[in-house]
Amino acid sequence: MKTPRNLTFKTKIVCTVGPAIGTEDKLVAAITAGASAFRLNMSHSTHSTHRQYITAIRAAERATGTHIPIIVDLQGPKLRVGELGNGVSLIPGREIILADPAIVRRKRLKFPDGALPVDYPSIAKDLKRGDTILFDDGLLAVQVTDVRDPFVKAVVVHGGLLRSRKGINLPNVSISASALTTKDRRDLEFAIAEGADFIAVSFVRSRKDIEQVRRYLAQRNAELGIIAKIEKPEAVSALEEIIEVSDAVMVARGDLGVEIPPSHVPLVQKRIIARCNYYGKPVITATQMLESMVTNPRPTRAEASDVANAVLDGTDAVMLSAETSVGAYPIEAIAMMRTICTEAERELLSRRRPAETYQRIPSASTENTDAIAAAAALIAENRRVDCIATLSYSGETARLVASRRPRSVILAVSTVAATLRRVGLYWGVYGMKLDDISTTDETIEHIKKLLVGKGYFDKGATVLFTIGRPLVARSRTNMLSIETL
């Protein structure tokens, strides 16, 4: 049975938008090459620029007839050095002083000559003697020798040129700053106003950080999905509780790989993905996946292996950052990632056993919904069903079916545009718009005609429907039906 090629892709590809793909024509090319979702990094650019990107994304979405989720990635309490002009040379063995200029002024003190400015008001409160401070993704390191509020003295361990606005990491230090900064609140308001689909929360430490964001959204009647970025050791320790309260999780290997030893990152990645799979929550693997393609037309062998192994680990999505935002070969990077994912998916699906679909997904809203999803995946495997069509208002059934990783195409059929976009982040799930619903039988027949009429499948294809009956009451999924087109 012929299936449209784009529906056979299982792993989703999240692409960061920037100057390299920020126009409608480039975004159409990105979607055609395999992009599934677009990320806006609020650490860079202005609201005006991001608004232009969102307009272009929605135009590209209409042009390609797809449903594309937009992820607004909050900066969070990212610590950075201040303005340093042409940079400052850190010489091993030399002593330096760090302080937040605003706090120094507030205390009516003089900012020491040659001191490093940092935008971290609590630096003297959170640090103690012996702590390590890392700059520029861990390339430069100093060790704290003395703390006298508001100043921190440190000796340079690994030197080099430190430039303006480079990031600061504090391994094994509990930061007192709120997970939701003033800038994050402005960016959240922007995301709500512009109709984003997901919010990615940076530097999550516990479930409280996610619950804070959820309360903020609830107060504004906003239903954006919340993605927890795991990039702090505290988050790894609190992984289970964070997954439970999040809508999705991102393995943010950039800061994570600075905060913990690089040798630990692969195993932590596997653990995060495995627990997300257990809870039935989508998981994105991110950072430097095809980094060399920022400047080169082909990836390294190690990068290709990295992407493939993430797929084999069970990730729902992989992410491109600089490769698509500022890279010289953004479309080639997307196409390459799609090719690698497709090869790895063949191997992944060959390993699946139908018995695995029986495992209950803890995040299901009801046991009945989860049982229907498990049964749908199992029947689809045994009957070699061409498509599982889940009629849903929320997309939950599609998520629970996808968690079982069936070979069949999964279509989330809905009248709700936000749902069609949200499922775009789920493994193997694609949205199909339904204008209205009537009785159960009439709706099934209407969907069958759409599947053939829109070229999704040929006549004779087998489709397994999951539906909540009665439809008009928006009942939870409680029915299975196997139909032939």
The set of catalytic residues is 39, 80, 229, 287
Q: Are 455 and 439 in contact (CB under 8 A)?
A: no
Q: What are phi and psi of 118, to 5 degrees?
A: -130, 145
Greatest Cα pair distance in the chain = 80
Residues with Cβ within 8 Å of residue 274, at least 6 apart in sequence: 313, 314
- Torsion over CA of 207, 231, 116 and 110, rounded to 10 degrees? 0
Q: Are 74 and 44 in contact (CB under 8 A)?
A: no
User: How far is the C-alpha of 97 from the C-alpha of 331, rounded, in Å?
Assistant: 45
- Torsion over CA of 158, 159, 165 and 168, rounded to 10 degrees? 10
Quick one: which of 72, 363, 36 has its CA closest to 201? 72
Gyration radius (Cα) of the chain, Å: 24
Please, what is the end-to-end C-alpha distance for the chain in angstroms? 11
User: How far is the C-alpha of 411 from the C-alpha of 70, rounded, in Å?
Assistant: 19
